[in-house]
Structure 1
C-alpha cells in the first residue's frame, strides 16, 4: 500500500514500541507499533490519539507517549507551547508541596488531629526528583512522569492506560491482557537509562 499523498509525520513512536488499539478502548488491542515509526496524529480523545502510518494504516494509541517531531527551530522570543512549558507544572508541584507542608506543620504542632490531616491532604498528588539540571516531575492532571531540562517537558512514562474515551465493555481479565506497560520509560535518552546511570 502506498503512502497517502498528504502524509506528514507529526510524531514518532517511542523507543521500545507502543501498544495500539482498534478503537479508543483497551479491550480491542491490535498489532503494536515498532519503535521510532513515524506517524501522523489525526485525532485526539482525552489521552487517546488516533495515528496514521505512512502505509495508510491507522490505530489508536496512548497519545501521552508519542514523541513530537521537531517542526524547525522556534522563532526567537516566541512563547513555548502550553504542553512543553515546564513553568505551570513546576508551579503546581510547588503549590501541592506547600499545602502538604502546611498541613504537616499543623499536625506536628498539635493544631490538627490525624483525621483532619488526612482530610486536608486528600487528593494532593505530586512527585519531583531533582538532580542538578535534570528534573523529573509527576503531572497528576495527565497521569504521567515528565522530564524537564529547564526549558521544556518530555513524557517519560504514563501511570495508567489512556483515558477520555469509552470504557472497555469486556471483562477485566481481557482488559488486563492488553499489551500495555504503564511503567515503560520512553525518554529522555531513548534507551531507558536515566541521565548519570553507569
Structure 2
C-alpha cells in the first residue's frame, strides 16, 4: 500500500540495495527490495534518506538510486534552441557514421585492431527510441536527456553525488521536495 501523497522520485536498482538506520555503515537495517519506488527526502554527500512506497524510511547510498523521469514538458511550450533535440540527433548520427566507417575498414582489412581502437577512441553515443519517446546521450555535457519530439529535459548525469568542499566528512543536509525546489 502506498503512503497518501507519496510521489516517487527514484526506484531501488534491480538488484535491491542495502539500507541503514542512520548515515552510518555500522547501523545496517533490512535491505530494500528491487525496483521499490522511493521518494528522496534528504541528502548528505553520497547518503540519501528515502521514504519508501510502503511507508518505511531508511538511509541508502544515493549514488545507486535510479531516477524516475519528471513529467515530459508540455507540448504547447515554444521550441527554443537550447531545448531542440535535433542537434543531439545530428551528433549521434555523425558519431554512428564515423563508427560504421571504421567497422567497414576493419572488416575490409584496411585497419588492424590497434588502428580500429585508435579510430574509435573517444566516440560515445547513446540512443533509445520507444515510439514518440527518445533518450539521447549528450557526450558534450555528460548527461542523458529525454525528448518527446520537440523538447529536451535532463534525465541523468555522469557526475556522481559528492560531499561539499567545506565539510568533506559530512555534507550539509539538503531537504529535497517532490517539485524539485
Taking structure 2 as the reference length, what is the TM-score of the superposition?
0.50
Aligned to 1:140: 139
Deviations 1:12-59 (A, max 9, x none): xx93448768xxxxxxx4997999xxxxxxxxxxxxxxxxxxxxxxxx
Q: Which residue of the partner structure matches residue 155 of structure 1?
A: 154
Provide the C-alpha distance between the structure 1 equivalents of 2:89 and 2:120, rounded to a whole number of angstroms: 19
Describe the superposition over 1:138-175 as per-residue Cα deviations: whole angstroms up to 9, x where unpaired.
11112111111111112211122379xxx95987xx59
| 2:89 aligned residue | 90
Q: CA deviation at 1:125?
A: 0.6
What TM-score, normalized to structure 1?
A: 0.46
Q: Give the secondary-structure state (helix, strand or coil) at the position aligned to 2:81.
A: coil
Larger proportion of strand? 2
- Cα displacement (A) at 1:123: 0.5
Q: Distance in 2 between matches of 1:106 and 1:86?
A: 31
What's the offset of the Cα at 1:82? 3.2
After superposition, the Cα gap between the structure-2 partners of 1:154 and 1:96, relative to the gap in structure 1 and judged at 3 Å, is same
How far has the Cα of 1:115 moved from its partner? Answer: 0.7
Contact 2:138 2:145 survives alignment (8 Å) = yes
Unaligned runs of 5+ in 1: 1-13, 22-28, 36-66, 180-185, 187-198
Could you tell me how far apart the structure 2 residues matched to 1:168 and 1:92 are?
Answer: 35
- If you compute each CA radius of gyration, which structure gives the higher value, 1 or 2? 2
1:195 maps to: none
Q: Distance in 2 between matches of 1:113 and 1:178?
A: 52
**Equivalent pairs, count:** 121
Q: 1:108 to 1:19 in 2, by over 3 A?
A: farther
| 5+ long unaligned stretches in structure 2 | 1-7, 10-38, 52-69
Q: In structure 1, the residue corresponding to 2:99 is in which secondary structure?
A: helix
Alpha-carbon distance between aligned partners in 2 of 1:32 and 1:136, rounded to the nearest angstrom: 26
For residues 9-158 of structure 1, what are the structure 2 equivalents within 5 Å?
Answer: 15=9, 16-17=39-40, 29=45, 74=77, 80-158=79-157
CA distance 1:113–1:100, shift in 2 (3 Å)? same
Partner Cα separation in structure 1 for residue 99 and residue 105 of structure 2: 10
